[in-house]
Every structure is written in C-alpha cells, then in structure tokens.
Amino acid sequence: MGDAVSDQWGTGDVLGRVLEAMRASGLPTDSTTVEALVPVDHFHARGFKSTQELADNLPVKPGDRLVDIGCGIGGPARYLAQRFDCRVEGIDITPPFVTAGNHLSALTGMQDRVKIVLGDGQHLPYPDQSFDGGYSQHVTMNIADRDRFFAEAFRVLRPGAFFALTEHGLGQGGPVHHPVPWSDDGSHEHLMTPEDTVTRLKAAGFERIRLSETGPKYLEGYRRMMELAAKGDLPRLGVHILLGPDAPAKTRNAAWNIEEGRTRPIEILCFRPV
Ligand SMILES: C[S@@+](CC[C@H](N)C(=O)[O-])C[C@H]1O[C@@H](n2cnc3c(N)ncnc32)[C@H](O)[C@@H]1O
C-alpha cells in the first residue's frame, strides 16, 4: 500500500522539477531562503496561508522539538523551525519528497533544525514521548488505519503536547468526484467524517479537542488557483508542479467536492493530557 500512496503523491525527479521551476522564476539554486520556497513547498489547500494560520494557534516555544507526520517536501517544517526557533523532525512515505525536502533544507541552511526521514505515519520510528508537539497537514485522507495513526502520534508526544491536524473530511453530499490530489480514482482513499475523526482522537487519548471547518477558506484558495490557470498566469514555482499534469482536474474536483458537501475540510487542535 505504501508504494501506491507514494506514487499518488510524487514520482520521478521531484527535486529536479522544483530546481528547474526555481531557475525559471529567477531564483538561485545553490542557496535560497525559507520565504522564497513558500509558493511550492506548502503542499496543501491554500498553501502557506493555511500553515501560517495553523501556526498562529500552536503553543510552540524556542528549543521545542516537533514532529511533522506526512511532511511532504518540508515547507511547513522549515517555516515552523524558523518562526519558533525550534527543531522539526519530518517523516514522509514518498521517497522523492524526502530527497527533495532534505536538499531544500540544506539550501536554506536549515539542515540542522529540520530532518526528514522516509517512513509511514502509522509506524513512527521515534521513542515514546519524544516531542513537544506534532502536526499532520492533509495526510490522513490516505490513512487506512486511522486508530493506529492517532495512537502513534499520541505515543511519541510528551504529556501536555499539542497535536494539530488538517484534512478533507467526508461529507454527506454523495460520492467524491475524482481525481483529487490524494486519489486518482478512489483507491487508497480513506476519508472519515469530522465527527468520526474526533471520536477516534478521543479514543487515542487526546483531549481539549477543538475543531474548525475550513471549507469556505479552501474554496477561495482553489478558485484563485483555477482563475490563474484559466488565464495562463500560474507562477512557474507553484504546487501544481507537484500535482502533475492532472493539476487542473484535481483542483477543480477538490473545489467541487467542497461546494457539494461531498468533503468537509477541517482543522483540529488537541492535546495529550498532562
Ligand atoms: C498533501 S501532501 C501534504 C504534505 C505536507 N504535509 C504539506 O502540507 O506540505 C500529503 C503528504 O502525505 C504523505 N503521506 C501519505 N500517506 C502517508 C503515510 N502513511 N505516512 C507518511 N506520509 C504519508 C504524502 O507522501 C504527501 O507528502
């Protein structure tokens, strides 16, 4: 199952494509900044804006150690490490993302504070209670064993640590239109209603669970991307280079699913009890 999920997200020379897009947009490729990569390395609905807003609510202190489960090419990890002067360990199941992520961390001089390893969020390679906080942005749509995923997150967090989650939850509006970024045809898709997600988080032991619906904000982001694409104005450096040739269809369907209530995007913040 790992291979199929990772093939959905990224195959081939992802790093080469990012470097090529950097060159095409006039950026140097031997060194860069966390800010310069923002258009391409926050690989989720609304990109960097969502990460910023999520970060605004996270109780992170300088020197903290965080885990980013399903970190992609590491934009959110680098941003949080820089913003809070903390360290972030990222884990992702897609090999070319791990390669690209670590290379981009080195280009931004963040390699000592952001480390990315290859692995499955359902089996975290970290000791118990290693982290002061954790987050997972737009990953759980592909997680078959949600209970195991949440139990693993809980296990590696220290008592009192936060866990933040963003995802496309399942709505009541009927079957999901495909392709979407997480699945071309419904395979390896494991959407869950927000209510079910909260129940599973509680069962894993999390408390103080705060849920917000993010659908309207995501729609704005998808519509903006579709407008730019229609005008041929998409920037050279953007997440469409990670989504691949089906980017327009995936973006349109992601928006359509929200509009018709087939998906219900959410953001959750919760805590491991002290
Ligand atoms: C939409 S991308 C989000 C990437 C990153 N969180 C971000 O926001 O920039 C989804 C990511 O989840 C990863 N992923 C999916 N299933 C995973 C699993 N079981 N374990 C670890 N990573 C996984 C994919 O490889 C992909 O990088």
Q: What is the mean pLDDT of residues 31-45?
A: 97
Q: How confident is the model at residue 229 (pLDDT cuts 50, 70, 90)?
A: confident
- Burial pattern 93-123, b for ≥16 Cβ within 10 A else e, equals bbebbbbbbbbbbebbebeebbbbeebbbbe
Q: Can you give the pLDDT at residue 3?
A: 78
Residue bearing tokens 């998808």: 222
Model confidence pLDDT, tens digit, residues 74-127: 999 999 999 999 999 999 999 999 999 999 999 999 999 999 999 999 999 999
Q: Atom 26 (ligand 1): residue with closest C-alpha?
A: 72
Report the alpha-carbon distance of residue 265 to residue 197 in Å, rounded: 12
CA of 233 to the centre of ligand 1 (A): 27
* Residue 2 in this model has a pLDDT that exceeds 80: no
Of the pLDDT bands very low, low, confident and very high (cuts 50, 70, 90), residue 228 is: confident
Q: Which domains does the chain have, with CATH numbers?
A: 2-271 (3.40.50.150)
> What are the pLDDT digits (tens) for 182-192?
999 999 999 99
176 has pLDDT over 80: yes
Enter the pTM of the model.
0.97
Q: What is the pLDDT of residues 156-167, one digit of tens each?
A: 999 999 999 999
Instruction: Give me the pLDDT at residue 11, please.
Output: 85
Of ligand 1's listed atoms, the one at least distance from the Cα of 143 is: 19
Question: Helices 34-41 and 75-84: crossing angle, nearest 10°?
Answer: 140
Six-digit token pair at 225?
A: 């991307």
Q: 10 falls in which pLDDT band (50, 70, 90)? A: confident
Which atom of ligand 1 sits closest to the CA of residue 97? 27
Mutate to test the pocket of ligand 1, among 38, 93, 263 (most ligand atoms within 8 A of CB): 93
Hey, is 6 helix, strand or coil? helix
Residues with CB under 6 A from ligand 1: 5-6, 9, 42-44, 70-72, 75-76, 91-94, 97, 120-122, 137-139, 142-143, 181
Distance 70 CA to ligand 1 centre (A): 4
Which amino acid is located at 240 in the chain?
Answer: H
CA of 209 relative to ligand 1 center, distance in Å: 22
Pocket probe for ligand 1: among 11, 46, 78, 142, the residue whose CB has the most ligand atoms within 8 Å is: 142
pLDDT value at residue 1: 45
Ligand 1 centroid, distance to 121 Cα (angstroms): 9
